[in-house]
Amino acid sequence: MTKRIYHPDLVLTERGFESGRAVVVNNDGRIEAIVPAKESEKHEAVRLVGKALLPGFANAHSHTFQRLIRGRTETRGASGDDFWTWREAMYRAANSVDADDVYHVARMAFLEMVMAGTTTVGEFHYLHRAQDRSAYPDPNLLSRKIIAAAESVGLRIALLRVAYARAGYELPPHAGQARFYETPQEYLENTAVLAAEFMGEKVWVGVAPHSIRAVPLAQLEEIAAWARERGLVVHMHAAEQVAELAACRREYGATPIQLLAERGLLSSKMTLVHAIHITETEMDALAAADTVICSCPTTERNLGDGIIDAARAAQRGIRFAFGSDSETLIDPLEDAREIEYHLRLQIQKRVVLDEIGGRNLSQRLFQYATEGGAQALGFDSGVIAIGRPADFFAVDLGDPSIAGNSPEDLLASIVFGLSRTAIRDVMVGGEHILRDGRHPLQEEIVNSYQSVYRKVWQA
């Protein structure tokens, strides 16, 4: 790639929104300089007239195949009234797609992410086996399909390869989960092959023991040690449901996070997804280990999981990221708003997360959605600064949702009021993958997805 220069009306740097600045991207897809706009006139700059440039979002927790169940689980007849019955609809989707379908559905979810300003995704991937429950000749075939989908759309991807060994404590294997299961040996062997092939800046691999209910403690410890030796990130679900805590207590005499802390498994390389039902002592343990919480407020609200006490976590300095999880709605700013708004409803006060640790509310939420997510995935994007990846999105300053705001209050207007249609351009590594609200493959991606949807639900 040749050197590129982007010249918007405003750029969000570490000092706030600045005018009269241009961003220079080097041949490696990183920011070489932020220069006075006049200097860009000497070169062929990409002029982003009437637009503000911001760092791209990092989606730290995604299950792309679940895009298929959007709108299909909003009646009791279709999915019951809790998380555990909702899973049955999810299993139907998981068992209805072949390898090519997985690719097309992932591209649809990734397209939506790009159109929402996302530049990096962590795909928590646990579809491994064929529809007849046998192993593919290449056990990583479906992982490769997900990676290819991200490459097609233009996203960076951390493929978080999931270990899934059982249905739960003292439970028989679940037919709906048959495509998820691998033996401990299969999991490490297959993940090692994938990690050896994909460890770059556009695609890399992390490990993901699904949860303490799906991965017994001995295997979890083996995976954590294996990842630690290789410097890989570790992601897992924890403390999402009250029933999950009860099962863990029956098996181990401790809650999931208490167990992780007692076994020395918490670390700065670990991200716990949800972590809703946790005690003050468990928060202290997360803070001491510098472990990340990936909150998925849209999904958690949809499933009735509960509300995380983000204020107490923030007071301890616990790092946060956001994830689209079940793809009920793909909008990182909606997740950012909800983590605050849920608290407001719960305690009947406003601006709950403001000024904790001296941090402004809008800056905090935006950082969680950008740099926070990137850190959880082991990457250094999320800030427009020299040396950082050139991953941006541009918003239309004349869009009705934010029109008229000054640079001083623009970030708050974006975090709390931006319409997704205001996002007009997205760049990853300096490459312009969304222009004026359109992706070059948009029509093909949508048409292919619609064919898969009809196959799954109208067959």
Which domains are present in the chain? Answer: 4-55+383-442 (2.30.40.10), 57-377 (3.20.20.140)
Task: Kindly name the residue from 9, 305, 309, 325 that is annotated as catalytic.
Answer: 325
What pTM value is reported for the model? Answer: 0.97
- Neighbour-count burial of 197, counting CB atoms closer than 10 A to its CB (0-12 exposed, 13-18 middle, 19+ buried): middle
Tell which residue, 115, 63, 104, has the closest CA to residue 299: 63
What is the structure's pLDDT at 98?
98
What is the structure's pLDDT at 358?
87
What is the structure's pLDDT at 1?
56
Query: Catalytic annotation on 409?
Result: no
Rounded Cα distance between 369 and 389, Å, is: 16
Query: Catalytic annotation on 274?
Result: yes
Are the C-beta atoms of 376 and 292 separated by less than 8 Å? Answer: yes
14's tokens: 């570490």
Task: Kindly name the residue from 274, 277, 342, 439 that is annotated as catalytic.
Answer: 274
What is the structure's pLDDT at 40?
73
Rounded Cα distance between 432 and 154, Å, is: 9
Give the Å distances, CA to CA, from 368 to 212, 312, 342, 402.
Answer: 26, 16, 16, 21
391's tokens: 């991953």
312's tokens: 């107490």
Give per-residue pLDDT as tens, 398-446.
999 999 999 999 999 999 999 999 999 999 999 999 999 999 999 999 9
- Which residues of the chain fall short of a pLDDT of 70? 1-2, 42, 459
Rounded Cα distance between 442 and 209, Å, is: 34
